[in-house]
Structure 1
Amino acid sequence: MDSPHGAAVKAEDFGLKGPRGWAFRGVGIDAAPGSLIAVEGPSGSGRTCLLLALTGRMKPTAGHAEVGGHQLPKKMSAVRRIAALGPVSGVTDLDQALTVAEQLREGALLQRHYGAPVRAMLRPRAERRAAAEARIASALEAAGLDLAALPKGERTSVRDLERLESVRLSVAIALLGSPGLLALDDLDLKLSDTERAEAWALLRSVAARGITVLAVCSEAPADALVLRTGPVDPDAPDAPQDAPDAPVEAAEPAGAEGDTKNDTTNDDTNDDTKGADDALAEAGRA
């Protein structure tokens, strides 16, 4: 895994509105590369939509943001190339039918297909295989996942992983592309206090490597830069940059050159999570 350069994340009056109302609005942040950013708020408050917008997967409709020097929404594809998604339910779900080794090889194959330069594809097969294995080993080390400690080693089924092990596997796959920004949804979901502490320790170690980390959670640690989401006032005047919809962009491996688009409109409202659920479903299908 190459040494990455973290992506600075900046936003001012950042918002997203669709047919069902505002998912989030008025978000502001100025985070340096290698920061640990926590998006804190109750479920249904637009946390996931904010994560997807800041990683170039959903189109914002108000304010402006900049990730790694790329402006949103003008440079969404450029942001997707440097921003990798860890666990995001409905978007980057692990394949429960695969073994851990198979899931890792699939991730490496996708990364090679979308993110590697053309000259890398021309190298001998044995050289490409060795490079992929080295990249996987480095990503596993960074994610703190010891395959030998799993019940059946690398042949352990993904469905048999504990929640924290699944998070580590998703992080390892995301790190295969050496992203500048790593984003995770519902980090503390179904984790004990001890596991939650381990998960945040993992993200601190990733940030210490220079990668900017953005994690959605219900309760942020004291040392994180916190973005808080909450109910949006439906009676507040609309921002001047309103748009009628918010397209969801397909999730891609960090470093991907493709610009796949999905024109379906998806948002959530201040008291209804259906919009966010729709957004995740569309992003997962894309």
Structure 2
Amino acid sequence: MDSPHAAAGPHGAAVTAEDLGLRGPRGWAFRGVTFSAAPGSLIAAEGPSGSGRTCLLLALTGRMKPTEGRAETAGLRLPRRAAAVRRIAALGPVPSVSELDPAFTVDEHLRERALLQRRYDGSLRTLLHPRRERVAAARARIDDALTAAGLDPAALPKAGRTSVRDLERLEALRLSVALALIGRPRLLAVDDTDLKLSDAERAEAWALLRSLAAAGTTVLAVCSEAPEDALVVRTDAPHADAERAGAEKDTAPDATDGTTEEDEEGTADAFAETRRA
């Protein structure tokens, strides 16, 4: 049963999972994940590439459908309340799901996100406000998000006209986080947090996410190596590795993997829903 206080309480979203698992056509992406995180936690989904970290992130943000176990985000049961979870959980960079367009400039990305936020998430009363007030409110949201993400467009090579393709990896990460924060989410999810970053840049990235959690937003970050102060959730438990290895063996050419047609259709639907969300 969903918590009666799902929409109340602190700004950040509590996140819990009990024996959570997700199975696809080639076997288990992850299985047996159990943890409980309070609002404003820094959660690190740690494991090697291919261990189901991104699938776990997408499941907990309402964008993929778990196969077994229980999970709640902000008191909302998953997958039954997935649509409600998507409204309070924002994605930072997630490959093939919420990537930056390399041809867009920083300003273009920010304006587009603010426009979408106002159009799809704004109340009817807000839409009736004078245009000047709506523009000022959108600008304030953008400024607040940029400040929280630690990105100063004026310091970029061409300021706000700098193309995404010309950003450094850490700058692109900050921009993705800023875009997510425009919606003022209760849960922020970031994939590949430490990918292709130097030690110094990695420290900066974690300092950013730590500051967002300290300010009240729950942060779920996928990484290969978690910081000591994070709540670590591993997706490469020994029994999950055995399941995964068995699945790979069973899905060799001309072999069946034991996956039913219903399993395959459900997984395909989950990926399609992820792209739409």
TM-score bin (small chain): 0.7 to 0.9
Deviation at 1:246, TM superposition (A): 7.4
Q: Is the 8 A contact 1:24 1:229 kept in 2?
A: yes
Deviation at 1:247, TM superposition (A): 4.5
Matched, 1:283 2:277: no
Find the counterpart in structure 2 of residue 164 from structure 1: 170
Q: Is the 8 A contact 1:5 1:180 kept in 2?
A: yes
CA separation of 1:246 and 1:69: change in aligned 2, threshold 3 A: farther
Find the counterpart in structure 1 of residue 105 from structure 2: 99
Letter in 2 for 1:146: D
Deviation at 1:265, TM superposition (A): 4.6
Q: Is the 8 A contact 1:39 1:229 kept in 2?
A: yes
Find the counterpart in structure 2 of residue 201 from structure 1: 207
CA distance in 2, matches of 1:97, 1:122: 33
User: Deviations along 1:94-140, whole A, 9 cap, x unmatched?
Assistant: 11111101110001111111211111111111111111001100000
Count of aligned residue pairs for this structure pair: 249
CA separation of 1:246 and 1:118: change in aligned 2, threshold 3 A: farther
Letter in 2 for 1:244: D
Correspondent of 1:178 among 184, 188, 191: 184
Rg comparison, structure with higher value = 2
RMSD: 1.8
Find the counterpart in structure 2 of residue 55 from structure 1: 61
Find the counterpart in structure 1 of residue 242 from structure 2: 233
Matched, 1:244 2:263: yes
Specify the SS of the correspondent of 2:39: coil
CA separation of 1:178 and 1:247: change in aligned 2, threshold 3 A: farther
Specify the SS of the correspondent of 1:64: strand
Q: Is the 8 A contact 2:11 2:186 kept in 1?
A: yes
Specify the SS of the correspondent of 1:168: helix
Correspondent of 2:31 among 25, 31, 55: 25
CA distance in 1, matches of 2:241, 2:62: 22
Q: TM-score, normalised by structure 2?
A: 0.86
CA distance in 2, matches of 1:27, 1:245: 22
Find the counterpart in structure 1 of residue 254 from structure 2: none
User: Deviations along 1:75-98, whole A, 9 cap, x unmatched?
Assistant: 000110110000001111111111
Q: TM-score, normalised by structure 1?
A: 0.83
CA distance in 2, matches of 1:192, 1:127: 42
Specify the SS of the correspondent of 2:17: strand
Matched, 1:70 2:61: no
Structure 2 segments unaligned to the other structure (5+ residues): 1-9, 248-261
CA distance in 2, matches of 1:78, 1:245: 25
CA distance in 2, matches of 1:25, 1:221: 23
Correspondent of 2:195 among 189, 206, 222: 189
